[in-house]
Amino acid sequence: MSALNLDTYSLSLITAREDILSARSSTDWAVFTYEKKWSLKLLDSGVGGLEELLKKFNENLVQYGLCQVSDPSSGVQRIILIYWVGENVDAFRKGVAAEHLPAIRRFFKEANVVLGAQKVGDITQEVVVQALSRVPPPARAFQKPRIPAPMRWWGPSI
């Protein structure tokens, strides 16, 4: 069976995604891969940005990279999802991964852009900037959480 399994490692998947999205966390990338029976799992995460993430891709694997990058045109933090299919991946695994891509995109719905790659040279800063320029900025930029103002009672004094 080749159905995508997001349940087995759901806690680590969700935690990694939330770390990348959180203004409180320094983690800015994570890479995911398959384990037996098409279970998606967290392989690694870190704070070195796109450059460090690219070093984690393997030519023999299908992997997904989630990375926070700064949009140079606006300075806003954006999220990219990299769909990595290594050059040495066989046709069957490529086909199954292609079937999983819609579900992966839904799971990582915060990604502003999805980029496909087979080798590290496919993803450059220029490619990322060009891809980000084709999509509108998010309605809500990443910001530190606001501390709400204290509630005030406008009714009669008791």
Q: What is the pLDDT of residues 72-110, one digit of tens each?
A: 888 889 999 999 999 999 999 999 999 999 999 999 999
pTM to 2 decimal places: 0.84
Domains and CATH numbers, the chain: 10-133 (3.40.20.10)
C-alpha 114/C-alpha 137 separation (Å) is: 14
End-to-end CA distance of the chain: 67
What tens digit of pLDDT does each residue of 104-158 get? 999 999 999 999 999 989 999 889 989 988 888 766 555 433 334 444 444 444 4
Considering only residues 39 and 37, tell me which one the structure prediction assigns the higher pLDDT: 39
